[in-house]
Amino acid sequence: MKLPYRRQFLHLVAGAAALPAVSRFAFAQAYPSRPVRVIVPFTPAGTTDILARLIGQWLSERLGQPFVIENRPGASTMIGTEAVVRSPADGYTLMVFGTASAINATLYENRISYDFLRDIAPVASILRVPNVVAAHPSLPVKTIPELIAYAKANPGRINVESPGAGTSSHLAGELFKVMTGIDMVHVQYRGNAPALTDLLAGQVQLGFDTLPASIEYIRAGKLRALAVSTLARSQALPDLPSVSEFVPGYESSGFFGVGAPGKTSSEIVDTLNKENQCRSCRSQVEGSTCPPWRHGPLGLACRFQNPHWRRNRKVGQGDQIRRHQGGVRLLQGRMFRNVSFCDGENRPPRLDSEHFRFASRDLSPPP
């Protein structure tokens, strides 16, 4: 090949090789160019729905396109999650997910048609929330010791609501039962709104709902708060004790984040993460009564990863010997084997009390 033609050929090859990167960059620059659907796998008016609407409003104002909230409840969030997994990975379908997405991998391991770690791309964390032990005023208890004593004197007489099997509220209640040796009846609903409706009406007597969903009813005196589930007291209710003050080692909390279909481009993920993590958006989330939980895509994904905790399947299934963490399956990191973390090792960091946990401190060590 003659030299002039060879140069032309090399220029064409270099230009063709650069086209995919240029087109991805141009697409990310133009994103979004039409409305974005945000799927919430719960009914309206619950914590997940409230956070999705706050985030959606903020993103609409910042990015200039509507972020439309679509509630797809059912099957412990699996219906909504599957809708996201099957959507095109173009950034126009997102989801707001919570603790149940990690727990489901344990409770429904052989019945899930997707792999959450593989099929959902983490975009940004939103919030970490405590659960609140709240009773209907007709239940004659005002403290955790009184609740334990009443439940032992009346086994099976207290009905405990939850927004669904595998949610942080469900596991918080089950862990409480296991650690105190009491018998209460779990009543499952399809979201916070119907669960709280029956709790307010006295159809059920107790709940372990997340703080943003129940705090206004507590402040209005419609529900009686007994304790929060985190080790530390909540800044929103500073006079309310934690369960661990009466049941040593008890701890439970939930987390929420934003996800997208698994093959969504990193440019779009970075755009969404930047807007979700900015200070003004964080201040809106703070208004939901809980401190923001700030992690990027990699940090959020790591909350689903933990090579040290493997005994985690039995609390949600009534394990009575207290050797298993409460249902959160933290899979060892196939996605992160080549990622170097801040401690210089190629492994996900171990979770501690600052992140979601559903087990007492005296659990048997993992094998």
CB neighbours of residue 3 within 10 Å: 7
pLDDT of residue 328: 31
pLDDT of residue 278: 64
pLDDT of residue 8: 66
pLDDT of residue 352: 31
Task: Report helix angle 100-107 to 168-180, nearest 10.
Answer: 60
Contacts of 257 (CB under 8 A, 6+ apart): 96, 97, 98, 122, 123, 124, 125, 126, 295, 300, 303
Instruction: Return the structure tokens found at 93.
Output: 């379908």
Cβ(361)–Cβ(249) under 8 Å?
A: yes
Q: 198, exposed or middle or buried, with CB in 10 Å at 0-12, 13-18, 19+? A: middle
pLDDT tens, residue order, the chain (367 aa)? 455 566 666 666 655 555 554 444 444 568 999 999 999 998 888 888 988 998 999 899 999 999 999 999 988 889 999 999 999 999 999 999 988 887 887 777 778 889 888 899 989 888 888 899 999 999 999 999 999 999 999 999 999 999 988 888 998 999 999 999 999 999 999 888 899 999 999 999 999 998 888 999 999 999 999 999 998 898 889 999 999 999 999 988 888 889 999 999 999 999 998 887 765 555 555 544 545 445 445 445 445 544 333 333 444 444 333 333 333 322 222 222 222 222 333 333 332 323 223 322 222 323 3
Q: Please state, in angstroms and rounded to a whole number, the distance separating the CA atoms of residues 234 and 214.
A: 13
pLDDT of residue 308: 30
pLDDT of residue 106: 73
Residue 292 is classified by DSSP as B
User: Which amino acid is present at 218?
Assistant: I
Element (H, E) at 98: strand 93-98
pLDDT of residue 128: 81
pLDDT of residue 118: 87
pLDDT of residue 23: 46
Report the DSSP pairing between strands 185-188 and 36-40: unpaired
Domains annotated for the chain, with CATH where assigned, are: 30-129+254-317 (3.40.190.150), 132-245 (3.40.190.10)
